[in-house]
């Protein structure tokens, strides 16, 4: 009798819970969007290429920071922030996320801070300083811009948050193929090649946010490819900038937000001209439009998020002798890096043995979204999709861009992404060989926290 009563009470409680959850689902999503112009108001040194010899000289189109705030039926909130910038360094990311916690109560798990990685935007404070010949005057400009940027991003999120209204959210995956694996294909001989070597990830992940009347509020879309079509001194968002412009022109009143995928070893090829950047932008926009025109998966209004920072181990710095040799390097940025490190070494500085690397998972309805810090190579997207399903969204360049993040294979092979890029970012040593296994193991654990199981997602990028 007691067992039957206990069973009945458990059944009743469970049934009430599911009814409440079903009611919550019927309440629906809410969302708000806002954007702010972050184009520098003065000539500034541009980020991404060490070979530039001057600050910016003009503008092709404006740079933007955009915010999409979402709230599920249970009141759980999150914000996707996209920026036409090379990458947000740790210090700026910390200030932005701390500000959002103070103003809106957002925890780190609720904030996705993604950079497009355009190489035609401004240098930021404490980011890749060794590769640019910066004068004290230029550094002051950079610091002024960076301080303003922090406030602009906090304010644009507040603005989006204040405009929440009922919406439906849909997801889907498209495809486009202008990315080329730059480690396995030679740019100078590309026109002679009749086939390209991989690996690649040609998926175009898309979120559509629509109002009850069917009008679109926002389109969030991504691609895994370096925005390095352009190497001029003209400010622009490169191909992602052109893609956003094209989508906002086609869908009047809709905000288009671009997020960068795991494209650290992917280049748009051929490149180097404004018409090519415009072509790739339109090509990407066309891929997004195709997804919007077909059936998309409607997402139940349930948002779960998880976040952690894991210590990625770093090898010891080069010896004093090796640094002294590098000081004589013909590469200006390598010499600057070596002189700085040599000075720190001789002054008795100690170097950290690891770096706190950010990992994050969102689950929107049944849509899994994985974010990783740094310049993440495509191998991580491939592996995560093998584990969790090919319709998973993968973002690199998120929350903190501190260096390239190679797979174990690329680390063994060396080259720019595997070794020398550490110098570009100013780190004192290369990553250790357990980097890939540590990232994937922790991502699997995070996925469990938000109830994403392996193979749950089954739609394949078409």
What are the pLDDT digits (tens) for 101-134?
Answer: 999 999 999 999 999 999 999 999 988 777 888 8
Coil, strand or helix at 84: coil
User: Within this chain, do residues 338 and 189 fall inside the same structural domain, yes or no?
Assistant: no
The parent domain of residue 170 ranges over 29-305+358-406
Q: Which residue(s) pair with 114 in the sheet? A: 82, 398
Burial of 321 per CB tally in 10 Å (0-12, 13-18, 19+): exposed
Residue 428 lies in a domain: no
pLDDT over 60 at 8, yes or no: no
Q: Average pLDDT, stretch 158-184?
A: 97
Cβ burial of 204 (10 Å; 0-12, 13-18, 19+) is: buried
| Mean pLDDT of all residues belonging to the chain | 91
Average pLDDT over residues 370-389: 97
Per residue in 44-56, pLDDT (tens digit) is: 999 998 888 889 9
- Per-residue confidence (pLDDT) for residue 455, from 0 to 100: 61
Spell out a b/e string for 2-34, using b for 16 or more CB atoms within 10 Å of the CB, else e. Answer: eeeeeeeeeeeeeeeeeeeeeebbeebbbbbbb
Sequence-separated (6 or more) residues with CB below 8 Å from residue 303: 70, 71, 72, 76, 77, 78, 362, 363, 364
Domain-embedded: residue 412? no
Task: Count how many domains the chain has.
Answer: 2
The mean pLDDT value for 357-369 works out to 98
- Mean pLDDT check: name the lowest of 135-144, 157-166, 174-183, 325-334: 325-334
Determine the Cα–Cα distance for residues 125 and 431; give it in Å rounded to an integer: 24
The Cα–Cα gap between 422 and 41 comes to: 31
Question: Do 327 and 227 fall into the same domain?
Answer: no
Average pLDDT of the segment spanning 231-250: 97
> Which of the four pLDDT bands, split at 50, 70 and 90, describes residue 18?
very low
Mean local confidence (pLDDT), 131-155: 94
* Spatial separation of the C-alpha atoms in residues 401 and 357, rounded to whole Å: 9
Does 196 lie in the same domain as 322?
no
Residue 204 CA to residue 247 CA, distance in Å, equals: 14
Indicate whether 269 and 330 sit together in one domain.
no
**Residue 202 pLDDT level (bands cut at 50, 70, 90):** very high
Q: Could you tell me if 329 and 193 lie in one domain?
A: no
The pLDDT score that the predictor gives to residue 416 is 84
Cβ proximity of 77 and 134 under 8 Å: no
**Are residue 125 and residue 219 in the same domain, yes or no?**
yes
Spell out the residues 6+ positions from residue 144 whose beta carbon is closer than 8 angstroms to its own. none
Burial class (CB in 10 A: 0-12, 13-18, 19+), 1: exposed
My answer on whether 385 and 339 are in the same domain is: no
What's the pLDDT at 314? 93
Token readout for 199 is 């690996």
| Inside any domain, residue 171 | yes
Domain membership flag for residue 279: yes
**Interatomic CA distance for residues 233 and 46, integer angstroms:** 7
Q: Which of 113, 109, 102 is nearest to 158 (CA)?
A: 102
Question: Tokens 């204040």 belong to which residue?
Answer: 162
**Domain membership flag for residue 218:** yes
In-domain check, residue 392: yes
Residues 98 and 213 in one domain: yes
Residues 315-333, mean pLDDT to the nearest whole number: 83
Shared-domain flag, residues 100 and 142: yes
- Decide if 393 is inside a domain: yes
pLDDT at position 73: 98
Q: Is residue 125 one of the residues assigned to a domain?
A: yes
Residue 158 has pLDDT above 60, yes or no: yes
Q: Are residues 323 and 207 in the same domain?
A: no
Report pLDDT digits (tens) over 258-302: 999 999 999 999 999 999 999 999 999 999 999 999 999 999 999
Q: What is the mean pLDDT of residues 438-443?
A: 98
Do residue 324 and residue 386 come from a single domain? no
- Mean pLDDT computed over 9-38: 65
Alpha-carbon distance of 24 to 18, in angstroms, equals 10
CA pair distance 350, 134, nearest whole angstrom: 26
Same domain as 285, residue 332: no
Tokens of 88: 């947000």
pLDDT, tens digit (0-9, with 9 covering 90-100), for 79-98:
999 999 999 999 999 999 99
């Amino acid at each position: 009798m007691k067992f039957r009563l206990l069973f009945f009470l458990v059944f009743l409680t469970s049934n009430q819970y599911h009814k409440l959850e079903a009611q919550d689902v019927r309440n629906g999503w809410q969302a708000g969007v806002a954007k702010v112009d972050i184009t520098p108001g003065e000539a500034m040194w541009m980020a991404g290429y060490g070979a530039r010899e001057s600050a910016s000289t003009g503008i092709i189109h404006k740079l933007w920071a955009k915010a999409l705030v979402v709230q599920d039926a249970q009141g759980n909130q999150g914000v996707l922030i996209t920026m036409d910038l090379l990458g947000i360094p740790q210090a700026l990311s910390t200030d932005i996320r701390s500000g959002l916690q103070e103003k809106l109560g957002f925890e780190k798990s609720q904030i996705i801070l993604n950079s497009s990685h355009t190489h035609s935007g401004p240098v930021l404070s404490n980011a890749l300083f060794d590769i640019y010949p910066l004068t004290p005057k230029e550094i002051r400009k950079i610091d002024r811009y960076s301080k303003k940027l922090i406030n602009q991003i906090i304010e644009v999120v507040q603005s989006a948050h204040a405009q929440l209204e009922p919406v439906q959210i849909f997801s889907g995956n498209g495809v486009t193929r202008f990315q080329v694996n730059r480690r396995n294909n030679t740019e100078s001989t590309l026109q002679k090649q009749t086939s390209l070597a991989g690996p690649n990830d040609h998926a175009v992940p898309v979120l559509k946010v629509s109002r009850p009347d069917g009008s679109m509020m926002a389109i969030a879309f991504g691609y895994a490819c370096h925005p390095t079509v352009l190497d001029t001194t003209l400010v622009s968002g490169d191909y992602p900038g052109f893609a956003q412009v094209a989508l906002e022109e086609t869908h009047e009143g809709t905000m288009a937000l671009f997020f960068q995928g795991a494209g650290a070893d992917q280049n748009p090829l051929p490149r180097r001209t404004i018409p090519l950047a415009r072509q790739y932008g339109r090509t990407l926009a066309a891929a997004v439009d195709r997804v919007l025109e077909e059936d998309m998966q409607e997402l139940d209004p349930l948002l779960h998020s998880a976040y952690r920072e894991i210590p990625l181990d770093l090898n010891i710095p080069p010896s004093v002798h090796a640094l002294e040799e590098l000081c004589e390097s013909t590469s200006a940025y390598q010499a600057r890096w070596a002189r700085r490190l040599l000075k720190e070494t001789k002054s008795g500085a100690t170097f950290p043995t690891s770096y706190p690397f950010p990992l994050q998972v969102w689950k929107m309805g049944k849509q899994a979204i994985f974010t990783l810090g740094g310049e993440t190579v495509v191998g991580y997207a491939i592996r995560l999709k093998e584990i969790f399903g090919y319709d998973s969204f993968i973002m690199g360049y998120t929350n903190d861009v501190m260096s390239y993040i190679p797979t174990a294979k690329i680390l063994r092979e060396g080259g720019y992404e595997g070794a020398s890029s550490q110098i570009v970012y100013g780190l004192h040593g290369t990553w250790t060989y357990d980097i890939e296994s540590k990232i994937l193991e922790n991502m699997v654990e995070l996925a469990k926290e938000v109830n994403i199981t392996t193979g749950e997602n089954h739609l394949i990028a078409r």
